[in-house]
């Protein structure tokens, strides 16, 4: 009896957390190092071939909590064009989704320092939901029909203004409102439109220290705005340290180390600030980025975004 009561309490709190955040698509604390996943117009803007991988374990210790992986490849192609390939795998409760997208960007030079990039992405996602797994708060969930390898198309677009020191971007990652597993309803519901607004600026505090405040506003139709703010420091051009705050959700610590001129290794930890903190030990992300930089660009300071 006590175990059943405890389980129902956990399910209720999880539902409250999802209602407050309205999370449908995967979210990443290290989005600022993986901007193509947020805005396709960013594709190729680093100026060289880049490979990025990330694993996220959310709410460790809570059964059915999200587990996500992201793998990206991007590169400039010609003078103004960028191409990229992205794969995202996300597990949540009884559902598993796999996104595969191709990204394209075109950049217009507004001046010597200012650029404006336009991006589009297209691909598809594979949806699987097994309603025989786990325990459901909604008793009708177990009578729903399983979904096996259902293909759904994706298409998104973005715009990205950037200089060597600042950026501002707006994107819609998917215009199609097809099916998606909804944790709160414990059923397959219509996908909602997501809007992402990102921005940041780099300041030189001294010869060895750079400071970059950044933000991400995420709006899902029919839900409150989600706000991420962060402050990152780059020390001696090889060590990155920072903190982040997701409104009414979590606080985070971020760290990154430039192992070589080509390889960046990063880690972040999220401490949950909602009532879910009593049922999990936090969220972990680990990332690895490889850049095939030319000798000329290796001599310059590393890009901070």
46-71 pLDDT tens trace: 999 999 999 999 999 988 899 999 99
* Alpha-carbon span 299 to 162, nearest angstrom: 22
What is the pLDDT, as a whole number, of residue 134? 60
**Tokens at residue 15, please?**
């539902």
For residue 49, what are the contacts with CB-CB under 8 A and spacing of at least 6?
73, 74, 75, 291, 292
* Alpha-carbon span 53 to 64, nearest angstrom: 23
117 belongs to a structural domain: yes
pLDDT at position 84 over 90:
yes
> Angle CA(267)–CA(273)–CA(277) in degrees, nearest 5?
85
Report the chain's mean pLDDT, rounded to a whole number.
85
Nearest Cα neighbor of 97 from 182, 21, 19, 12 is 182
* Alpha-carbon span 43 to 75, nearest angstrom: 7
282 belongs to a structural domain: yes
pLDDT at position 34 over 90:
no
The total domain count for the chain is 1
What is the span of the domain harbouring residue 256? Answer: 2-298
* Alpha-carbon span 18 to 183, nearest angstrom: 7
305 belongs to a structural domain: no
* Alpha-carbon span 247 to 226, nearest angstrom: 7
187 belongs to a structural domain: yes
304 belongs to a structural domain: no
pLDDT at position 155 over 50:
yes
303 belongs to a structural domain: no
What is the pLDDT, as a whole number, of residue 27? 83
Dihedrals phi, psi of 174, to nearest 5 degrees: -155, 120
Q: Yes or no: say if 237 and 265 are a contact pair by the CB < 8 Å rule.
A: no
Dihedrals phi, psi of 247, to nearest 5 degrees: -50, 125
**Tokens at residue 262, please?**
């080509």
Q: What is the CATH number of the domain that holds 167?
A: 2.40.160.40
What is the pLDDT, as a whole number, of residue 5? 40
Nearest Cα neighbor of 199 from 217, 214, 219, 177 is 214
pLDDT band at 147 (very low <50, low <70, confident <90, very high): confident
pLDDT at position 302 over 60:
yes
Q: Yes or no: say if 45 and 82 are a contact pair by the CB < 8 Å rule.
A: yes
What is the pLDDT, as a whole number, of residue 176? 87
**Tokens at residue 13, please?**
């709190």
What mean pLDDT comes out for the span 138-151? 72
pLDDT, tens digit, 9 for 90 and up, residues 190-244? 667 899 999 999 999 999 999 999 999 999 877 888 999 999 999 999 999 999 9
For residue 155, what are the contacts with CB-CB under 8 A and spacing of at least 6?
120, 121, 122, 174, 175, 176
Q: Which residue has the higher pLDDT, 10 or 305?
A: 305
pLDDT, tens digit, 9 for 90 and up, residues 90-130? 998 888 999 999 999 999 999 989 999 999 999 999 999 88
97 belongs to a structural domain: yes
* Residue pointed to by tokens 């992986």: 69
* Alpha-carbon span 83 to 119, nearest angstrom: 10
Q: Yes or no: say if 195 and 4 are a contact pair by the CB < 8 Å rule.
A: no
223 belongs to a structural domain: yes
> Angle CA(264)–CA(83)–CA(81) in degrees, nearest 5?
110
Integer-rounded Cα radius of gyration of the chain: 20
**Tokens at residue 248, please?**
């009414």
């Amino acid at each position: 009896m006590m175990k059943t009561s405890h389980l129902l309490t956990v399910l209720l709190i999880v539902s409250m957390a999802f209602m407050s955040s309205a999370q449908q698509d995967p979210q990443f604390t290290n989005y600022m190092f993986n901007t193509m996943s947020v805005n396709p117009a960013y594709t190729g803007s680093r100026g060289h071939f880049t490979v990025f991988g990330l694993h996220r374990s959310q709410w460790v210790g809570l059964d059915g909590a999200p587990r996500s992986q992201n793998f990206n490849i991007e590169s400039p192609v010609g003078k103004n064009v960028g191409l990229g390939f992205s794969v995202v795998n996300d597990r949540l409760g009884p559902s598993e989704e796999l996104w595969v997208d191709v990204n394209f960007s075109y950049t217009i030079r507004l001046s010597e320092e200012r650029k404006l990039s336009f991006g589009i992405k297209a691909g598809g996602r594979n949806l699987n939901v097994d309603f025989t797994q786990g325990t459901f708060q909604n008793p009708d969930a177990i009578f729903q029909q399983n979904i096996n390898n259902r293909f759904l198309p994706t298409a998104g677009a973005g715009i990205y203004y950037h200089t060597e020191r600042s950026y501002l971007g707006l994107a819609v990652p998917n215009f199609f409102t097809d099916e998606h597993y909804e944790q709160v309803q414990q059923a397959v519901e219509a996908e909602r439109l997501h809007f992402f607004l990102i921005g940041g600026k780099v300041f030189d505090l001294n010869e060895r220290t750079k400071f970059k405040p950044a933000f991400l506003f995420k709006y899902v139709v029919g839900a409150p705005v989600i706000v991420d703010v962060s402050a990152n420091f780059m020390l001696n051009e090889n060590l990155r340290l920072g903190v982040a705050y997701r409104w009414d959700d979590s606080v985070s610590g971020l760290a990154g180390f430039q192992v070589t001129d080509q390889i960046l290794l990063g880690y972040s930890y999220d401490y949950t600030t909602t009532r879910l903190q009593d049922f999990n030990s936090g969220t972990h992300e680990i990332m690895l980025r490889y850049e095939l930089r030319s000798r000329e660009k290796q001599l310059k300071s590393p890009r901070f975004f």
